[in-house]
């Protein structure tokens, strides 16, 4: 589905990514791991067209580099940013309507979202600005799914969440995999990432320094010490 080759990206004169490359298949969860500043979030933003990038980003045979974010979204990619970016003065229902796919409909309805995230059903007429951090994270995920993506780019979805909500987010991502949706997951909590991921990409200094299964990464304490542990 997604093929990234020799990807370079950054901010102004500062280059963050130095030749990143990987592939992602349908119905697969790939965890993008690394310390803060390794380039994980920049990788997602580069794929989504939110930062200038050079190199190859190929989605179902079509090049994405240089295309606008809304064009990339219409091609079938969805992005859930780390800071959630819900519309605080709009209700839960209105936020979901803004994410809805307009042409031809999609596989997900608002009722589906309330089924995946029961707390949102109870708060459907509440403005998003007064939701808890966990509820806002659920809303950000649900709003993106309303656009019917085939690939979901998710940045730190469990940041600041209580253990029960972390489990709920992990469950939802696994449900999406069963629906055939691919997920590229940036996640700081190693335990949840290794539990749900099919493969892991480990980043350091803007490059991929390891690619393999969660079991293979667990068997490499040297890599975890060098590139993950503080």
Tell me the pLDDT tens digit for each residue of 144-178: 999 999 999 999 999 888 888 899 899 999 999 99
Q: Are residues 11 and 112 in the same domain?
A: no
Global pTM value: 0.93
Average pLDDT, the chain: 93
Domain-terminating residue out of 127, 147, 167: 147
Are 153 and 114 within one domain?
no
Which pLDDT score, from 0 to 100, does residue 104 have? 56
Based on C-alpha coordinates, what's the Rg of the chain? 17
Same domain flag for 220 and 158: yes
Residues 6 or more apart whose Cβ sits within 8 Å of residue 134: 119, 160, 161, 162, 165
User: Do 139 and 163 reside in the same domain of the chain?
Assistant: no
Same domain, 53 and 153: yes
Query: pLDDT digit string (tens) for 94-137?
Result: 999 999 876 556 688 999 999 999 999 999 999 999 999 889 99
Give the span between the Cα atoms of 176 and 151, in whole angstroms: 10
CATH of the domain at 186: 3.40.50.300
Instruction: Specify whether 68 is located in the same domain as 156.
Output: yes
The answer on 67 and 90 residing in a single domain is no
pLDDT the model gives residue 103: 58
Work out how many domains the chain is built from and give that number: 2
Q: Can you give the residue range of the structural domain that contains 125? A: 83-147
**Same-domain pairing of 173 and 191:** yes
Q: 3 with 23: CB under 8 angstroms? A: yes
| Phi, psi values for residue 204, rounded to 5° | -150, 130
8 A C-beta contact, residue 80 and residue 153: yes
Domain end among 125, 147, 169: 147
Residue 229: per-residue pLDDT: 84
The pLDDT value recorded for residue 101 is: 78
Which residue carries 């990432």 as its tokens?
193
Residues 153, 64 within the same domain: yes
Whether 11 and 71 share a structural domain: yes
Per-residue pLDDT at 98: 93
How high is the pLDDT of residue 136? 94
Confidence at 77, pLDDT banded by 50, 70, 90: very high
**Share of residues in the chain with pLDDT > 70 (%):** 97
Of 110, 130, 147, which closes a domain?
147
**CA–CA distance from 217 to each of 40, 90, 174, 188 (Å)?**
17, 42, 20, 15
b/e code 131-148 from CB counts within 10 Å (16+ = b): beebbbbbbbbbbbbbbb
Residue-wise pLDDT for 37-67, tens only, equals: 999 999 999 999 999 999 999 999 999 999 9
96 with 114, same domain? Answer: yes
């Amino acid at each position: 589905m997604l093929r990234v080759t020799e990807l370079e990206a950054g901010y102004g004169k500062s280059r963050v990514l130095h030749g990143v490359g990987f592939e992602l298949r349908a119905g697969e969860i790939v965890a993008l791991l690394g310390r803060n500043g390794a380039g994980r979030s920049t990788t997602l933003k580069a794929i989504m067209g939110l930062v200038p990038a050079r190199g190859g980003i190929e989605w179902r045979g079509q090049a994405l580099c240089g295309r606008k974010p809304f064009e990339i979204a219409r091609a079938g990619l969805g992005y859930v940013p780390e800071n959630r970016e819900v519309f605080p003065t709009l209700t839960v229902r209105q936020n979901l309507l803004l994410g809805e796919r307009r042409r031809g409909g999609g596989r997900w309805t608002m009722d589906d979202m309330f089924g995946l995230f029961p707390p949102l059903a109870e708060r459907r007429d509440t403005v998003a600005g007064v939701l808890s951090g966990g509820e806002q994270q659920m809303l950000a995920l649900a709003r993106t799914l309303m656009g019917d993506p085939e690939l979901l780019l998710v940045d730190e979805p469990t940041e600041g969440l209580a253990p029960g909500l972390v489990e709920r987010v992990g469950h939802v991502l696994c449900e999406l995999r069963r629906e055939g949706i691919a997920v590229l997951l940036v996640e700081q909590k190693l335990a949840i990432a290794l539990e749900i991921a099919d493969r892991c990409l480990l980043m350091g200094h803007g490059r991929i320094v390891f690619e393999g299964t969660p079991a293979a990464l667990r068997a490499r304490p040297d890599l975890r010490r060098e590139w993950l542990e503080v």
